[in-house]
Homo-oligomer: A and B are copies of this chain.
Amino acid sequence: MASFELLAQDGLARAGQLTLNHGVVQTPIFMPVGTYGAVKGVSPSMLQAIGAQIVLGNTFHLWLRPALEVIAKHGGLHGFMNWQRPILTDSGGFQVWSLGALRKISEEGVAFSSPINGDKLFMAPEDSMRIQAALNSDIAMVFDECTPYPSSHADAATSMRLSLRWAARSRAAFNELKDPSVPNALFGIVQGGMYEDLRDESLEGLREIGFEGYAIGGLSVGEPKEDMLRILAHTAPKLPAHKPRYLMGVGTPEDLVEGVSSGIDMFDCVMPTRNARNGWLFTRNGDLKIRNARYRDDLLPIDPMCLCPVCQPEAHGDDRPPFTRSYLHHLQRIDEMLGASLSTVHNLFFYLQIMREMREAIQRSELQAWAATFKATRANGPVQETSHPHS
Q: Which residues of A contact B (CB under 8 A)?
A: 36-45, 65-66, 69-70, 73-75, 79-82, 84, 296-297, 299, 313, 318, 320-321, 323-324, 326-327, 329-331, 333-334, 336-342, 388, 390-391
Contact A36 B330 (CB under 8 A): yes
Contact A391 B75 (CB under 8 A): yes
Contact B320 A84 (CB under 8 A): yes
Contacts of A337 in B (CB 8 A): 40-41, 337, 340-341
Can you list 18 A-B pairs with a CB-CB distance of less than 8 A?
A: A36-B331, A40-B338, A41-B341, A43-B342, A65-B330, A65-B334, A66-B296, A66-B326, A70-B296, A70-B326, A73-B299, A74-B327, A74-B390, A75-B390, A80-B326, A80-B330, A82-B321, A337-B340
Contacts of A342 in B (CB 8 A): 43
Q: How far is the CB of A293 from chain B (nearest CB, A)?
A: 11
Contacts of A45 in B (CB 8 A): 313, 318, 320
Contact B36 A80 (CB under 8 A): no
Contacts of A331 in B (CB 8 A): 36, 38
Q: How far is the CB of A292 from chain B (nearest CB, A)?
A: 14
Contacts of A38 in B (CB 8 A): 331, 336, 338-339
Q: How far is the CB of A194 from chain B (nearest CB, A)?
A: 35
CB-contact partner of A338 in B41, B70, B313, B318, under 8 A: B41
Given A297-B69, A337-B341, are A37 and B330 also a contact pair (CB < 8 Å)?
A: yes
CA distance A336 to B338 in the complex (A): 13
Closest-by-CB residue of B relative to A38 is B338
Contacts of A296 in B (CB 8 A): 66, 70
Given A73-B326, A330-B66, are A336 and B36 also a contact pair (CB < 8 Å)?
A: yes
Contact B80 A324 (CB under 8 A): yes
Q: How far is the CB of A375 from chain B (nearest CB, A)?
A: 33
Q: List 18 additional contacts besides A43-B338, A44-B320; criterion CB under 8 Å.
A: A36-B334, A36-B336, A37-B327, A38-B336, A38-B339, A41-B337, A45-B320, A69-B297, A70-B330, A73-B391, A74-B390, A79-B390, A80-B324, A81-B327, A82-B321, A82-B323, A337-B337, A341-B341
Contacts of A329 in B (CB 8 A): 66
Contacts of A82 in B (CB 8 A): 313, 320-321, 323, 327
Contacts of A74 in B (CB 8 A): 299, 324, 326-327, 390
CA distance A330 to B74 in the complex (A): 13
Contact B297 A70 (CB under 8 A): yes
Q: How far is the CB of A137 from chain B (nearest CB, A)?
A: 16
Contacts of A326 in B (CB 8 A): 66, 70, 73-74, 80
Q: How far is the CB of A42 from chain B (nearest CB, A)?
A: 7
Contact B390 A66 (CB under 8 A): no
Closest-by-CB residue of B relative to A78 is B390
Q: How far is the CB of A306 from chain B (nearest CB, A)?
A: 16
Closest-by-CB residue of B relative to A334 is B36
Contacts of A336 in B (CB 8 A): 36, 38, 40
Contact A65 B340 (CB under 8 A): no
Contacts of A66 in B (CB 8 A): 296, 326, 329-330, 333
The list of the 6 closest CB pairs from A to B, nearest first, reads: A66-B330, A79-B390, A75-B390, A337-B337, A38-B338, A41-B337
Q: How far is the CB of A130 from chain B (nearest CB, A)?
A: 19
Q: How far is the CB of A308 from chain B (nearest CB, A)?
A: 13
Q: How far is the CB of A36 from chain B (nearest CB, A)?
A: 5
Contacts of A84 in B (CB 8 A): 320
Contacts of A69 in B (CB 8 A): 297
Contacts of A297 in B (CB 8 A): 69-70, 73
CA distance A259 to B74 in the complex (A): 41
